[in-house]
Amino acid sequence: GFGAFISDRDPQGIAEEVGSWLVDDEKLSKLSMAAKKSGAPHAARDIVKSIGKITHKWLQLNEDRIRLNEETEKLKLGMELSMDEEEDVEVEVVLTNDEGGVSTSS
């Protein structure tokens, strides 16, 4: 094989596995050669891109959650929202399917 399966629901496990590849030059070389032989020469790049996309989605969700919590507190305190804050806000919803894949809707 040229990698390992770790569910995207286990980011710590993904980080540990990928980290172990990066500190072991011999293992990384073997994985790379196996990926090329199996017709997946860009497997590492694809994995990193996938991790980056998922990370970006979670970052955006966390930023939205923080902003919405701040607005909720303002409303609880009876503070008026500024004109910018009254504009419609698009919220992106991330759904995880049974296979651990991620899809989005807005």
Residue type, 100: G
d(CA 44, CA 31): 9
Helix (H) or strand (E) holding 9: none
Count of alpha carbons within 13 Å of 106, Cβ hemisphere only?
Answer: 9
Confidence of residue 38 (pLDDT cuts 50, 70, 90): confident
**3-21-56-46 Cα dihedral, nearest 10 degrees:** -40
Give the pLDDT score at 59: 92
Give the pLDDT score at 88: 53
Query: Which of 17, 39, 15, 14 lies closest to 28, judged by CA?
Result: 17
Q: Report CA-CA distances (Å) from 54 to 8, 14, 69.
A: 9, 12, 22
Query: Which of 19, 43, 23 lies closest to 31, judged by CA?
Result: 43
Over residues 64-90, mean pLDDT: 75
pTM: 0.44
Over residues 24-43, mean pLDDT: 85
Confidence of residue 106 (pLDDT cuts 50, 70, 90): very low
What share of the chain has pLDDT > 90, as a percent?
14
Give the pLDDT score at 3: 78
Residue 4 has pLDDT above 70, yes or no: yes
